[in-house]
Chain A
Amino acid sequence: MKNDDLLQTILESYDDSNYPEAFVSEYDIMECLSDQNGICTFLVQKKDGENCIAKCYDKLRWGISDNSAILHNLDHDGLPKHIATFESDTMTVTVREYVEGLPLSRYAKENDLSEKEIVQICVRLCDILGYLHHREAPIIHRDIKPQNIIVRPDGSVALIDFDIARIYRSGNETDTMFFGTQAYAPPEQYGFSQTDARTDIYSLGVLLRWLLTGSTKENKNIRVYRPLARIISKCTGFAPQERFADVSQLKKALLQANPKSQGLRIAVTVLCAVLAAGLLIFAGVKIYQAVTYTPFTADAIPAYLSDEERVADAVAYMKDKYGTNMFDEADDVSTVGDLRAAMIDLYGLDRDYVYGINTEMPQESDEYFMPWGWDDGQTVDRDIAVYAAVKAHDPSIVADWSSIKDDNGYYPGVRAAAAFAEETGIMTGANRPGDITLGELALILANTDRVFDTAEER
């Protein structure tokens, strides 16, 4: 194998003494993941087979040991765990957990991500950045891009690659000028001003645009779900003060813009609107009913009956309701005695009240049921029957005690009863104003009962 001499020459050129001795003895370098700016990132394998990521910093270019302690203490699911730091004269090596999964740059291309999933990823990044930004010594990642975000097999995300965060020193603008990934870096990262948490917010905005449109640059031809477009626009404001001041605000905006929660919100809004409209209509109907309310309406009285049928129906009604036979001889003329008997026996009025007579005739009063000195044997005309029937239910309707009689010789209370009866339909079927039969008395009483019963039901 004479060629193998060449191999030996090559292998000898790998001077392991550059690396910290403990690192070389513990880890095998398996793959070189990146090599730039004096920082080499390797996939390394522990002797037990565990994969880790090692970052090797050339000490001639990076004096980082003062900052590295900040990163050692990080403990978040979305950040790879720090395992060890090794030092040699020329090199600092930090070893961290290897995060299984795919970089978002590849994951997004291989999976057709829905807006909901995209929002979910960005919300998780907000959580991670919130953890970094809200530390006592805030850490700004400053290189947020799809390549630095790993989507684990379980869908959770991790933010990797803290090179720039690590080496960043406040006040040192020249350092900030050529790091970060151009498309994702905000103007201040080119030296316009000092960088802070809003630098990461800018990059997250560009990331969101890339996830939604496939491009880091604004493309007016691609329609973006409007609430998300607004978020992108706010994240990527030129001046930091135009952006969200904090990732927690961004997270809140994302959750509110989430198409899922939007759907829910629309559903809730529609439901509320429907309920409100229903309530309004219900209230409107109720208000209308209250305004136009008349407790007594004719619909209590059966429709489409002849007068004879009405009388028969009323007799049956009274018999059924009060168990009385007093109206059986429906064609017989009704007397004052019949009316009084009905008031006492059927409506339970006091006998003295019903039979008492106002001593100072002809004035009415509410002291006595009928202010007239009639005998039980006298006939009864319709309007008197109506007066008695209405008064039995509600004396206040006929309580007009003035003494001016009308042309028919009736007192105002009788006129009030007749007017009420006309309005409510109590007179339905009793068309003769004169003396009435027992059947017609039954009709007036039954009609009055129905009108008042219906009014009570309302």
Chain B
Amino acid sequence: MGVKSEKISTQELWARLFKSPSVGDYLEKTGDVCEMLAFSEYISQLCKERQEKPENIIKRSDLESSFGHRLFSGARNPSRDTVLQLAFGFEMDTDDAQQLLKIARVTALHPRVKRDAVIAYCLHHRKSVIEAQQLLYDNNLPLMGGKRNEK
């Protein structure tokens, strides 16, 4: 933020990267979440639709197995980083990842945040969670599943 020309260019790049230019709109609409599915139900349903076992998703998310299962059973609520890791596990694109974040009631990926830009870029290019972590590391940004506590 701050200098206008750069602000515009970042958003343009974001828009170029991800078809949906409506992150702002999305953020404003996150308020009403009461009729949404519980997160655990949503990810379990996704597994069924894709005919995949949660084990595979958890593995691809690079999450600890028992913790991952507790997310699927609803025994734990995920942090934002965990949701992002699951988005990699489900091999989601950015739009689907934003939807997943919304259902988990955590903040969306935002073009103002450099770290989010890296993660969104990796999702868009279907990189693995390990590759994404590597890119975060290379750019001196906090890794996913770092220090923030789970709720």
Evaluate whether A35 and B1 lie within 8 angstroms (CB atoms) in the complex, with A7-B135, A10-B13, A11-B117 already known.
Answer: yes
Q: Which residues does chain A contribute within 8 Å of B142, judged by CB atoms?
A: 28, 30, 45
Bound-complex Cα distance A428 to B24 (A): 107
Q: Tell me if A106 is interfacial: C-beta within 8 Å of chain B.
A: yes
Which of A10, A49, A109 touches B17 (beta carbons < 8 Å)? Answer: A10
Q: Which of B41-49, B53-61, B64-72, B106-114 contacts A (4 or more CB under 8 A)?
A: B106-114
In the complex, the answer to whether B3 meets A15 with C-beta atoms within 8 Å is yes
Whether B13 lies near A13 (C-beta < 8 A) is yes
Contacting pair B107 A33 (CB below 8 A): yes
Asked if B128 is an interface residue, CB under 8 A from chain A, the answer is: no
The reply to whether B116 and A32 form a contact with Cβ atoms under 8 Å apart is: yes
Nearest to A16 among chain B residues (CB) is B114
**B31 and A45 contacting across the interface, CB-CB below 8 Å:** no
A4 lies within 8 A of chain B by Cβ: yes
State in angstroms the CA–CA spacing of A90 and B3 once bound together: 8
Least CB distance, B84 to chain A, in whole angstroms: 11
Q: Which of B3, B14, B80, B107 contacts A18 (CB 8 A)?
A: B3
Q: Is the pair B147, A45 in contact by a Cβ cutoff of 8 Å?
A: yes
Q: A4-B135, A31-B107, A58-B1 are in contact. Are A11 and B118 (CB under 8 A)?
A: yes
Dominant secondary structure of chain A at its interface with chain B: mixed
Q: Does A42 contact B (CB under 8 A)?
A: yes
Cβ–Cβ < 8 Å partners of B105 in chain A: 106
Which residue of B is nearest A56, CB measured?
B1
Residues of A within 8 A of B110 (CB): 31-32, 35
Q: Which of B9, B113, B118 is in CB contact (< 8 Å) with A30?
A: B113
Q: Which of A29-49 contact B (CB under 8 A)?
A: 29-35, 38, 40, 42-43, 45, 49
A7 / chain B contacts, CB cutoff of 8 Å: 118, 121, 135
Residues of A within 8 A of B3 (CB): 15, 18, 90
Q: Which of B126-151 contact A (CB under 8 A)?
A: 135, 139, 141-142, 146-148
A18 to B107, CA, bound (A): 23
Q: Is B99 an interface residue (CB 8 A)?
A: no
Is B102 interfacial (CB 8 A cutoff)? no
Minimum distance in angstroms from B89 CB to a CB of chain A: 20
- In the complex, the answer to whether B107 meets A109 with C-beta atoms within 8 Å is no
CA of A13 to CA of B117, assembled, Å: 11
Interface of B is mostly: loop
Distance in angstroms from B133 CB to nearest chain A CB is 14
A4-30 residues with Cβ-Cβ distance < 8 A to B are 4, 6-7, 9-11, 13-15, 18-19, 28-30
Residues of chain A with a CB closer than 8 A to B125's CB: 3
Q: Which residue of B lies closest to A19 (CB)?
A: B2
B111 to chain A, nearest CB (A): 8
Q: Smallest distance from the beta carbon of B76 to chain A beta carbons, Å?
A: 16
Contact of B10 among A13, A45, A106 (CB under 8 A): A13
Most buried by A among B1, B17, B80: B1
The residues of B that contact A43 with a CB separation of less than 8 Å are: 107
Question: How far, in Å, is A313 (CB) from chain B's closest CB?
Answer: 89
A29, A34, A45 interface centre (most CB from chain B within 10 Å): A29
Which residues of B are found within 8 Å of A32, using beta-carbon distances?
A: 107, 110, 112-113, 116
Query: In whole Å, how far is B97's beta carbon from the nearest beta carbon of chain A?
Result: 14
Could you tell me the distance in whole angstroms from the C-beta of A11 to the nearest C-beta in chain B? 6
Alpha-carbon gap, A390 to B41, bound state (A):
100
* A104 contacts partner chain B, Cβ-Cβ < 8 Å: no
- Pairwise interchain contact A14-B135, C-beta atoms closer than 8 A: no
Decide: A29 near B121, CB < 8 A? Known: A10-B17, A18-B2, A105-B31: no
Across the A-B interface, the 7 shortest Cβ-Cβ residue pairs: A49-B147, A32-B110, A18-B2, A90-B2, A31-B107, A14-B114, A32-B112
User: Which residues of A are in contact with B by a Cβ distance under 8 Å?
Assistant: 3-4, 6-7, 9-11, 13-15, 18-19, 28-35, 38, 40, 42-43, 45, 49, 51, 56, 58-60, 90-91, 105-106, 109, 147
- Show 8 residue pairs from A and B whose CB-CB distance is below 8 angstroms, ordered by the A residue: A7-B118, A14-B117, A15-B2, A15-B3, A28-B141, A29-B114, A31-B107, A56-B1
